[in-house]
Structure 1
């Protein structure tokens, strides 16, 4: 088995500040960045804080930035880097640092609570839901999300403008709204919830300028921009600006 010594720079610190610290660490064939972080903990920095769980790319816990790009530590193979380069590992930039590579991502859970839940169709028991596969194929893609929040981290609306966080849900939760809006059994409209309107008015859909940076970092390869955000924008614009839709709303009293 081939092994070599790699140069790592890892951010160390807490909410009060910190700095990058240099390490030289052994790398073995087939390892991922998370393996190296664990080796650093075992041999050189026993107090290094990192969040992780499954080590299989399914829990979303080990999100960080590697050479400035939001990635999962457990899914980033050392073989993608040359043996000569220095690998820099830093915490997610969009969220407050707790310690070292661990960030406070509670912003995302707060946004999740603001999205109205699935509204069951009236008169149908939960075990009696029936849907054709063709009707669920579009929203089914979005269920692959592991909530690593890499899309939230790389979205410049959140990343570069702290003041936007109060009024912008971010791509992960706009995708959730799109998923519910596409759901063949969601009865939100009948319950007085207009998902397209709330996406625009309450969750900041208009802030998104479809740069596709969220799609580029998604470890599940969900086409967030093309399949969720753009269609949601189109439906929201139709409802708000299309004169025929506006006239239909007035005639049939679909809105107040």
Structure 2
């Protein structure tokens, strides 16, 4: 015969509900999901709870236990004090269906919007080959069981419902990172798509997603941060500062990257359709000049110039701005804006003051004569 323990479980549906107290038997070695099943068999046969494998591999029994997002089948009762009341509530970020069951369809919608793996056109199925080191790089992210605890704890959508249309969340950031480092993936705009369509810039790397991951995936350190660094690498590159010393803004000479000659620039379609190729003449929209998508849309280009846009209505990203010979044009090195607008605003002025640069000249502090 086990000990009697106090449980407080949220009961209700989309119209409302409240916490209800239960006294239930708990045996040695049991987990929270075992106790919920005992409640269903005794006092609360109508208690709704989603579960499947009971082995921490399906991600179905996600819930909040004493305020922390966890898997019910992996949370042992021995981790709580005997006199402690265990409070079980549904995932707060998603709409409640009934009791502990929430509507997580938001995540499946974002999964459909995320561009799938694009196999190389010149390699037949069955002939794909990868080095072991390439497998190991992305294997960590493939351990994800889609419990959506990271999605639930991410405050960008947990505390701001209005952010959901523009923010995919950490689960799909690591999906983008996995495909970006895949040697056989033919898409070249993964990181730009993550910035412009998935809302990567909204993430401020608090690492709460990593903390709750039951598979111990280093979501922030190995996925999100490297992706953010690759997105902004040229924005803060010292070459940008140097280029502004050479060319004044608005007088940057046009090359194939800015004149529309690179007709093979691919934009990510996401949920709005497939990929499209842009071609056309030079930009002639009142002197407006932006690398943010190269969409040839004057309104979108002016919007990109303004920098801040919380509704994420920005041009789609393009492929890397290279010329016909595969070389990076001079204007791409000298232009003082990122490849896509930052959601935090374009408040960086150029040239950067020396204290903001990540390098120092050996004699920069010596008095000038």
Q: Is the shorter-chain TM-score for this pair beyond 0.5, marking a shared fold? A: yes
TM-superposed deviation, 1:206: 0.5
Q: Deviations over 1:55-96 (max 9, x none)?
A: 000000000000000000000000000110000000000000
1:13-45 Cα distance to aligned partner (Å, 9 max, x none)? 000000000000000000000000000000000
Q: How many residues align?
A: 251
Task: Give the structure with higher Rg (CA).
Answer: 2
Q: Separation in 2 of the partners of 1:114 and 1:241?
A: 30
**Cα distance between partner residues in 1 of 2:197 and 2:238:** 23
Are positions 1:224 and 2:296 aligned together? no
Unaligned residue ranges in structure 2 (runs of 5+): 244-256, 258-319, 333-338, 340-369
Q: How do 1:5-84 residues align onto structure 2 when only pairs under 5 Å count?
A: 5-84=4-83
Are 1:168 and 1:203, in contact at CA under 8 Å, matched by a contact in 2?
yes
CA contact (8 A) 1:136 1:184 kept: no
- Cα deviation for residue 209 of structure 1 reads 0.5
SS in 2 for 1:57: coil
CA deviations over 1:116-150 (Å, ceiling 9, x no partner): 01110121112111111112212111000000000
Aligned to 1:163: 162
Q: How does 1:86-165 map to 2 (within 5 A)?
A: 86-165=85-164
Aligned residue number for residue 274 of structure 2: none
* Higher strand proportion: 1
Root mean square deviation of aligned Cα:
2.0
**Deviation for aligned residue 1:160:** 0.6
Match of 2:296 in 1: none
Assess, with a 3 A threshold, how the Cα gap between structure 1 residues 56 and 11 changes in structure 2: closer, same or farther.
Answer: same
Give the alignment's TM-score, normalised by structure 1. Answer: 0.93
Q: Tell me the distance in 1 between the aligned counterparts of 2:47 and 2:99.
A: 7
- Following superposition, the deviation at residue 240 of structure 1 comes to 5.0
- TM-score with structure 2 length normalisation? 0.65
What SS does the corresponding residue of 2:145 show, helix, strand or coil? coil
Gaps of 5+ in 1: none
Matched residues in 2 for 1:76 and 1:172: separation?
21
Q: Secondary structure, in 3 states, of the residue corresponding to 1:166?
A: helix
Per the TM alignment, residue 3 of structure 1 is displaced from its structure 2 partner at its CA by: 1.9
Shift of 1:242: 3.7
* Higher relative contact order, chain-length normalized (CA < 8 Å, sep 6+): 1
Counterparts of 2:238 and 2:97, CA distance in 1: 50
> 1:65, 1:71 within 8 Å by CA — same for their partners in 2?
yes
> The residue matched to 2:165 in structure 1 has which SS?
coil
4+ residue runs of structure 1 moved beyond 2 angstroms? Answer: 239-256
Q: Which has the larger helix fraction? A: 1
Query: What does residue 209 of structure 2 align with?
Result: 214
